[in-house]
Structure 1
Amino acid sequence: MLNVQNLSLFYGAAQALRGVSVEAKVGEVTCVLGRNGVGKSSLLRAIVGHRPISAGSVTLDGREISRLKPYDRARSGIAYVPQGREIFPLLTVRENLETGFAPLKRKDRHVPEEVFEIFPVLKSMLNRRGGDLSGGQQQQLAIGRALTTRPRLLVLDEPTEGIQPSIIKDIGRAISYLRGRGDMGILLVEQYFEFARDLADRFILMERGEVVVAGGRAELEGDEVRARMAI
């Protein structure tokens, strides 16, 4: 599915990523863990094309996409839910969802009913402006917009940040449901350890732009990852 190998990225003279490798397989949730400032969001931006890399490769379904523009990566099947959601506050919920039509062929330009089955609140708010929604509702909208693109890879940057506990549970159930469909990979950046532990099939833990621990669900149940995230 997604295969990232030895990725390096700079912001000017500062190196944000140092030979980072990660995989995200169809039907699995891969979590990228770590404290603030270790390069997690930089990794996602490199994968979706928002930041140029200096070394390494990004491959999706066997195709090298490292040099593609962000919109071409979206057309290839990558959907990105950025940290902070970045919905359009002056557009309605319906209009926000319809911005997901951009990478789609004309015949596919409709919001899948499944979006409203996963997040029923969106259907009742279609004519409300995005800026009038609560933070949790905006997060659901951002994920719904991403799902409108029919992704093969869903990339989520800290979807629980600043969200009330009830919505965190809804988002967790949505991610579990999408994994269970078995037709997409999910790459999730998260600082909330319990949320990641309950969802992850595999994970990497980053420190100072490098991967320091990687493994599957069993390793995530141990104390090392929790201890490193608390340092």
Structure 2
Amino acid sequence: MLDVNAINLHYGAAQALRGVSLKAEPGKVTCVLGRNGVGKTSLLRAIVGQHSISAGAITFEGKDISRLSTVERARHGIAIVPQGREIFPLLTVEENLETGFAPLPRNDRSVPDDVFSLFPVLNTMLNRRGGDLSGGQQQQLAIGRALVMRPRLLLLDEPTEGIQPSIIKDIGRAISYLRSLGQMAIVLVEQYLDFAQELGDRLVVMDRGSIVYACDKADMDEGALKRAMAI
């Protein structure tokens, strides 16, 4: 479904990604691991079109999307849950969810039942402003907003960062459920190895803008994985 092929990305003279290749398939979770500043978020920005790549190609469902705008990629079924959540604090929960309608045809502009079954708290807080929610509730709202878009590729940028353990478990269950449907490819950027090992079907470690270790879960060498993360 998603094929990132040897991409480079620059911020001015600084190179953030160096020949990065990555695949994501429906019904599987690809986890991208690594320390802060190694290029994980830059990779997601490249996939979603928030920053143009300087070399390589990104294909989605067999189509080269490397030069498409962020809006066009969203219309193709690519959604991101950004680091820091980026909800609209003055909009209600319901209004925040409805911002996910933007790339959808008019007939599809409704909130899927899965959003409220995965995160029941959102249904009880529809009229509360997003800024009044706790950090964990805001994270659930950000994921719910992405699911409103009915994505075929879901990108999650450190969804457990600063979140209480009970909601981390809720997020983990939601990701597992979405994977089980077999229709969505998921790319999960994480720093917490335990969370990634529990959910990931494929594990990728980045350092200094490059992939330094990659394996399927079934073939994982835990020692090699931890050494790569310690680089």
Q: TM-score, normalised by structure 1?
A: 0.98
Aligned 1:75-224 pairs, distance under 5 A: 75-220=75-220, 222-224=222-224
**1:140 alignment partner, SS class:** helix
| TM-fit CA distance, 1:227 | 2.8
Contact 1:78 1:152 in 2 (8 A): yes
Aligned 1:44-83 pairs, distance under 5 A: 44-83=44-83
| TM-fit CA distance, 1:229 | 1.9
Which residue does the alignment assign to 1:227? 227
Q: Whole-Å Cα distance in 2 between the matches of residues 189 and 145 of structure 1?
A: 18
Instruction: Provide closer, same or farther for how the CA distance between residues 222 and 61 of structure 1 changes in structure 2, counting only shifts above 3 A.
Output: same
**2:151 alignment partner, SS class:** coil
| TM-fit CA distance, 1:221 | 5.2
| TM-fit CA distance, 1:223 | 1.4
Contact 2:212 2:228 in 1 (8 A): no
Gapped regions of structure 1 (runs ≥ 5): none
Contact 1:197 1:220 in 2 (8 A): no
| TM-fit CA distance, 1:224 | 1.6
Code of the aligned partner of 1:94: E
Contact 2:27 2:180 in 1 (8 A): yes
Deviates more, 1:221-230 or 1:209-218: 221-230
**2:115 alignment partner, SS class:** helix
Contact 1:197 1:221 in 2 (8 A): no
| TM-fit CA distance, 1:75 | 0.1
Cα-to-partner distance string for 1:175-207 (whole Å, 9 max, x where unaligned): 000000011000010001000000000121111
Cα-to-partner distance string for 1:96-122 (whole Å, 9 max, x where unaligned): 000000000000001011100010000
Code of the aligned partner of 1:198: E
Q: Whole-Å Cα distance in 2 between the matches of residues 55 and 209 of structure 1?
A: 14
Q: Whole-Å Cα distance in 2 between the matches of residues 221 and 121 of structure 1?
A: 39
Q: Whole-Å Cα distance in 2 between the matches of residues 136 and 225 of structure 1?
A: 29
Q: Whole-Å Cα distance in 2 between the matches of residues 219 and 166 of structure 1?
A: 30
Q: Whole-Å Cα distance in 2 between the matches of residues 125 and 90 of structure 1?
A: 14
Q: Does 1:27 align with 2:27?
A: yes
| TM-fit CA distance, 1:130 | 0.3
Contact 1:17 1:39 in 2 (8 A): yes
Which residue does the alignment assign to 1:13? 13
| TM-fit CA distance, 1:79 | 0.5
Instruction: Provide closer, same or farther for how the CA distance between residues 76 and 49 of structure 1 changes in structure 2, counting only shifts above 3 A.
Output: same
Deviates more, 1:154-163 or 1:210-219: 210-219
Code of the aligned partner of 2:136: G
Code of the aligned partner of 2:206: M
Percent identity at matched positions? 70
Across the two proteins, how many residue pairs are aligned to each other? 231
